[in-house]
Amino acid sequence: MTPLEPNTQPAMNDVVYAVGNALGTGIVIRDGLYTSQTPEEEDGRWKWMRFSAAASPGNSGGPLLDKDGKVIGVVLMKSPDENLNYALPIDLVLKAPANLAVADTRELYQLDVIDNKHSGRFKFEFPLPKSFADFSSNYQKNYNAGADQELHDLLAENDSILFPKGSGSSRLLHTGSNLNPFPTLLHRNSNGTWVVAGTNDSKGNLTHNGYVSKAAVGSQLMFHLRKPDDVSSKQLYNDPKLFMDLLLQGAPLQRRIGSEQVRITSLGQPTEQRNFTDAYQRRWQVRVWPMAYDNSKLIAFLLPVPDGYAAMIRVVSAKNEHEETIDLNALTNYVYVSYSGTLAQWKEYLANTDLLPSTLSSIAIGFDYGNDFRYQSRRLGFAYTPKLQKIDQDSQLVLGMSYFEDQGKVVWDVSNVLVKSNIDNAERVGVNRHVAPSDDLDDSFRNSWDKVVQRSHPDDGVPYSENDMTFIGTVGGSPVTAAAKPGVLYTAFYGVDGPRPEDTMKGKLNLLTEKLQINEH
């Protein structure tokens, strides 16, 4: 086969032809004009050829020809707006070193939890010739190493603002859990304050009381999979195909085939499986599925929770798998989620000891249906019997998890405990952690703390009504005195739907507090 002859000095405004496999439909030839030149964006190291011949995905790497069929450039980019597309002059291709592959470009790197970007240099070279497989392997190895360095540099440059030690972290470190089982991310807002990113999740129902909730948070989809009642936690955690099949039932995913969008019902078994432990000793299951005929992969970071999974998922270009994975590795340290489930679900979940976050290894949760419920940690303990509220397999336990400082170190631990007689019943008991505000916080934190210290309403042992429920609460532990000013206090409450007599409510509170033990001060 005779190669096309090059033309290294094409005339401006001459007719040109873009040749390539446009949109994957076969070889297409389209005409236009060689209209202008544009300096390369970073340093003006060369000039792009700009041309008006139509270009589409599939043209990249194809030739740009002059009116005589000679190669004047290689089509590389489509213009985002008007039809003035980009080609690299063939003269630059011919002058490239024959025995050396060289990459040299700038990259912007960003992590979803902060707005700051890192501008770095992606630069390397390796000898040629190589087979395509060896070339691809060398390129990918260098590209991945560059991504590792970019992320490292981004985190190093922003060390002074990163949660939890960075500026703007105090408010979040002094705020208890919102008890939400839907996972989201921490984020540093435009005011420099770390907050919990809001979500607008949608729900798809599964059989046997299961469901999938999803919402986009930054560059990933966040999921909460509540497993169906006929699926055990052991089955779910040990069968990634089962997880993905359930996810696709509750949150349909489509694949383009030709001009049609076809629903995916299963991705089969993942091709990659590993575990990952984040900085707070939460144990994630990482699963990767290839997306057939799309040169992309679905990366799932799965966090086992009592009723199923909390998950982060991205669908990414196969070339960027490593880069996207290290992003998700870093983001695990900013995930905000509480642990919720029925007592039956908790019993199954706690049996999976190798998947539990380390904070739960120091917490004893015990219950005997119809007899008693017990919670004991190094921070607090409490217990009650059905005289306070019903205890059965449908009772709902929520551990509100949050980030807070403990003896000079920021931990991810339980800040709220809520137990309901069942999912639908409004009867509940709860114990909440409160921490003395630091000097940099505003008066709202100080006022809230002072009310707890002074045992003011609603923690004064007096029943009150709110949202068609009756509540009664108190501050646990010994009264605060001038000589004893604790940095941490706990409040306990009982609530039930409808109006109730004062004596009944006080009796319920006594049943809760008689075995309430506060170990943290």
Q: Enter the pTM of the model.
A: 0.89
For residue 514, with 0-12 CB atoms within 10 Å meaning exposed, 13-18 middle and 19 or more buried, which class applies?
A: exposed
Which CATH code fits 180-336? 3.40.1000
| Selection from 213, 197, 204 nearest residue 310 by Cα | 213
| Rounded distance between C-alpha atoms, residue 215 and residue 202, angstroms | 7
| Rounded distance between C-alpha atoms, residue 153 and residue 139, angstroms | 21
Q: Name the one residue in this structure whose structure tokens are 């470190």.
A: 173
In whole numbers, what is the pLDDT of the chain averaged over residues? 93
- DSSP 8-class letter at 347: H
| Rounded distance between C-alpha atoms, residue 499 and residue 466, angstroms | 10
Amino acid at 111: L
Report strand pairing: 296-305 vs 194-196: unpaired
Give the count of alpha carbons within 13 A of 337, CB side only.
29
- Split at pLDDT 50, 70, 90, the class of 260 is confident
Q: Where are the domains of the chain?
A: 15-95, 100-157, 180-336, 339-518
| Rounded distance between C-alpha atoms, residue 143 and residue 137, angstroms | 10
Q: Name the one residue in this structure whose structure tokens are 């500026």.
A: 167
Paired tokens of 169: 């972290």
| Rounded distance between C-alpha atoms, residue 471 and residue 200, angstroms | 30
pLDDT, tens digit, 9 for 90 and up, residues 131-182: 999 999 999 999 999 999 999 999 999 999 999 999 899 999 999 999 999 9
| Rounded distance between C-alpha atoms, residue 314 and residue 307, angstroms | 22
Paired tokens of 142: 């260098």
Give the count of alpha carbons within 13 A of 202, CB side only.
6
Q: What is the DSSP string of 276-330?
A: EE-TT--EEEEEEEEETTTTEEEEEEEEEETTEEEEEEEEEEGGGHHHHHHHHHH
Across residues 479-496, what is the average pLDDT?
A: 81
Check residue 480 and give its pLDDT. Answer: 56
Check residue 230 and give its pLDDT. Answer: 97
pLDDT, tens digit, 9 for 90 and up, residues 200-236: 999 999 999 999 999 999 999 999 999 999 999 999 9
Choosing among 2.40.10.10, 2.120.10.30, 2.70.98.40, 1.20.1070.10, the CATH entry for 15-95 is: 2.40.10.10
Check residue 98 and give its pLDDT. Answer: 86
pLDDT, tens digit, 9 for 90 and up, residues 309-342: 999 999 999 999 999 999 999 999 999 999 999 9
Give the dihedral sign, CA 52/58/62/67. negative
Q: Who's near 25: CB < 8 A, 6+ residues apart?
A: 58
Q: Is 239 strand, coil or helix?
A: coil
Amino acid at 114: I
> E strands along 352-460, which residues?
364-368, 372-376, 380-384, 396-406, 409-420, 428-435
Q: Who's near 260: CB < 8 A, 6+ residues apart?
A: none
- Split at pLDDT 50, 70, 90, the class of 406 is very high
Q: Name the one residue in this structure whose structure tokens are 């590993």.
A: 274
Q: Who's near 443: CB < 8 A, 6+ residues apart?
A: none
| Rounded distance between C-alpha atoms, residue 197 and residue 199, angstroms | 7
Paired tokens of 290: 């290839």
Strand partners, 340: 398
Question: Which of 11-25, 261-275, 344-358 is least confident?
Answer: 11-25
pLDDT, tens digit, 9 for 90 and up, residues 410-456: 999 999 999 999 877 789 999 999 999 999 999 999 999 999 999 99
Q: How many CB atoms lie within 10 A of CB 91?
A: 15
Are 441 and 457 in contact by the 8 Å Cβ rule? The answer is: no
- DSSP 8-class letter at 268: -
Amino acid at 417: V
Q: Is 201 strand, coil or helix?
A: coil
pLDDT > 90 in the chain, percent: 82
Q: How many CB atoms lie within 10 A of CB 22?
A: 19
| Rounded distance between C-alpha atoms, residue 15 and residue 53, angstroms | 9
Check residue 318 and give its pLDDT. Answer: 92
Check residue 17 and give its pLDDT. Answer: 95
Q: Is 73 strand, coil or helix?
A: strand
pLDDT, tens digit, 9 for 90 and up, residues 83-129: 789 999 999 999 988 899 988 888 889 999 999 999 988 889 999 99
Q: Name the one residue in this structure whose structure tokens are 């999974």.
A: 309
* Angle value at C-alpha 245, between 240 and 250, nearest 5 degrees: 125
Element (H, E) at 275: strand 272-277
* Angle value at C-alpha 158, between 334 and 329, nearest 5 degrees: 35
Question: Which of 16-30, 290-304, 345-359, 390-404 is least confident?
Answer: 16-30
Across residues 47-68, what is the average pLDDT?
A: 90
